[in-house]
Amino acid sequence: MSEYRQALMPVPPWRRTDYCGALRAGDAGREVALWGWVATRRDHGSLIFIDLRDREGIVQLVFNPERDADAHAVAQAARAEFYLAVKGRVVRRSEGTVNAELPTGEIEIVVAVAEVLNPSQPPPFPLAGPDGAAEEVRLKYRYLDLRRAEMQRNLRRRHQALRGARAYLDANGFIEIETPILFRATPEGARDYLVPSRVNPGRFYALPQSPQLLKQILMVGGFDRYYQIARCFRDEDLRANRQPEFSQIDIEMTGPRPEDIHEMAEGMMASIYEYAAEIQIPRPFLKMPYEEAMERYGSDKPDLRFGLELKNLTDAFSGTQFKVFAETLARGDAIYGLALPGAYQLSRRELDELAEGLRTRQSLGLAWAKIGSDGWQGPVAKFIGADERVSAAAAAGLSEGDTLLMVAGPRGKVRPVIGDLRLQMAAKFALRDATALKFLWIVDFPLFEYSEEEKRLVSVNHPFTAPRPEDLALLDAEPLKARALAYDMVLNGQEMGGGSIRIHNAELQLRVFALLGIERAEAIAKFGFLLDALAFGAPPHGGIAFGVDRIAMMVCGTDSLRDVMAFPKTQKAVDTMSGAPSEIDPRQLRELSIRVAR
RNA sequence: GGGGUCGUAGUUCAGCCCGGUUAGAACGCCGGCCUGUCACGUCGGAAGUCGUGGGUUCAAAUCCCAUCGGCCCCGCCA
Query: What is the residue extent of each domain of chain A?
Result: 2-118, 151-288+439-565, 307-428
CA A231 to chain centre: 14
Give the residues across from A539 on adjacent strands: none
CA–CA separation, A485 and A544 (whole Å):
12
Which residues are within 8 A (CB) of A399 and not within 5 positions of it... i.e. 6 or more apart? A342, A371
User: Judging by beta carbons within 10 Å of its beta carbon (0-12, 13-18, 19+), is residue A215 exposed, middle or buried?
Assistant: buried
Nearest alpha-carbon partner for A149 in A55, A276, A52: A55
pLDDT of residue A3: 43
Within A 221-240, residues with CB less than 7 Å from strand B: 234, 236-240
CA closest to B29 C1', residue = A122
- Separation in Å, CA A359 to CA A77, A237, A346, A417: 64, 25, 18, 11
Please give chain A's pLDDT, 598 residues, in tens: 334 454 467 889 999 999 999 999 999 999 999 999 999 999 999 999 999 999 999 999 999 999 999 999 999 999 999 999 999 999 999 999 999 999 999 999 999 999 999 999 999 999 987 667 899 999 999 999 999 999 999 999 999 999 999 999 999 999 999 999 999 998 778 999 999 999 999 999 999 999 999 999 999 999 999 999 999 999 999 999 999 999 999 999 999 999 999 999 999 999 999 999 999 999 999 999 999 999 999 999 999 999 999 999 999 998 888 998 999 999 999 999 999 998 888 888 788 878 877 776 777 888 999 998 888 998 889 899 888 999 999 999 998 999 999 999 988 889 999 999 999 899 888 898 888 999 999 999 999 998 888 888 999 999 999 999 999 999 999 999 999 999 999 999 999 999 999 999 999 999 999 999 999 999 999 999 999 999 999 999 999 999 999 999 999 999 999 999 999 999 999 999 999 999 899 999 999 999 888 6
CA–CA separation, A253 and A259 (whole Å):
12
Write down the ipTM of this complex: 0.93
Q: Where are the alpha helices (DSSP H) in A172-313?
A: 212-220, 258-277, 290-297
CA–CA separation, A22 and A334 (whole Å):
62
A279: left (phi over 0), alpha (psi -120 to 50) or beta: beta
DSSP SS3 for A378: coil
CA A345 to chain centre: 32
In 10 A of CB A223, how many CB atoms?
16
A416 prior amide bond cis, ω within 30: no
Topology classification of domain A307-428 = Gyrase A; domain 2 (3.30.1360)
pLDDT of residue A89: 97
Q: Tell me whether the CATH fold assigned to A151-288+439-565 matches the one assigned to A307-428.
A: no
User: Judging by beta carbons within 10 Å of its beta carbon (0-12, 13-18, 19+), is residue A42 exposed, middle or buried?
Assistant: exposed
Topology classification of domain A151-288+439-565 = BirA Bifunctional Protein; domain 2 (3.30.930)
Amino acid found at A523: A
Within A 100-119, residues with CB less than 7 Å from strand B: 101-102, 105, 108
Q: Does residue A79 lie within 7 Å of nucleic acid chain B, judged by its CB? A: yes
Nearest alpha-carbon partner for A123 in A109, A104, A140, A99: A140
- Separation in Å, CA A451 to CA A238, A356, A359, A480, A561: 22, 26, 22, 11, 30
How many angstroms separate the CA of A124 from the C1' of B27? 12
DSSP SS3 for A334: strand
DSSP SS3 for A239: strand
A448: left (phi over 0), alpha (psi -120 to 50) or beta: beta
CA–CA separation, A235 and A2 (whole Å):
52
Within A 520-539, residues with CB less than 7 Å from strand B: none
Q: Does residue A51 lie within 7 Å of nucleic acid chain B, judged by its CB? A: yes
Q: Does residue A209 lie within 7 Å of nucleic acid chain B, judged by its CB? A: yes
CA–CA separation, A325 and A384 (whole Å):
10
Strands A31-43 and A48-54: antiparallel
How many angstroms separate the CA of A218 from the C1' of B19? 71
Q: Where are the alpha helices (DSSP H) in A348-497?
A: 348-362, 386-396, 411-428, 474-477
Q: Does residue A93 lie within 7 Å of nucleic acid chain B, judged by its CB? A: yes
CB contact at 8 A, A86 and A71: yes
Which residues are within 8 A (CB) of A422 and not within 5 positions of it... i.e. 6 or more apart? A297, A298, A308, A309, A310, A338
- Separation in Å, CA A381 to CA A261, A368, A377: 50, 8, 6
How many angstroms separate the CA of A122 from the C1' of B30? 12
Within A 116-135, residues with CB less than 7 Å from strand B: 122, 124-126, 128, 132-135
DSSP SS3 for A483: strand
pLDDT of residue A80: 96
How many angstroms separate the CA of A153 from the C1' of B15? 38
DSSP SS3 for A173: coil
CB contact at 8 A, A407 and A418: yes
Q: What is the DSSP letter of A326?
A: H
Which residues are within 8 A (CB) of A66 and not within 5 positions of it... i.e. 6 or more apart? A46
Q: Does residue A97 lie within 7 Å of nucleic acid chain B, judged by its CB? A: yes
DSSP SS3 for A355: helix
DSSP SS3 for A191: coil
Q: What is the DSSP letter of A466?
A: P
CA–CA separation, A466 and A468 (whole Å):
7
- Starting from the edge strand earliest in sequence, which strands make up the sheet with A541-547, in order? A175-176, A225-233, A245-254, A541-547, A494-501, A486-491, A439-443, A286-289
Within A 276-295, residues with CB less than 7 Å from strand B: none
Q: Which nucleotide is nearest to A102 (CA to C1')?
A: B38
In 10 A of CB A361, how many CB atoms?
10
pLDDT of residue A131: 63
A379 prior amide bond cis, ω within 30: no
Overall size of chain A counted in residues: 598
In 10 A of CB A1, how many CB atoms?
6
A564: left (phi over 0), alpha (psi -120 to 50) or beta: alpha
Considering the domain delimited by A2-118, tell me its CATH architecture: Beta Barrel (2.40)
Q: Does residue A45 lie within 7 Å of nucleic acid chain B, judged by its CB? A: yes
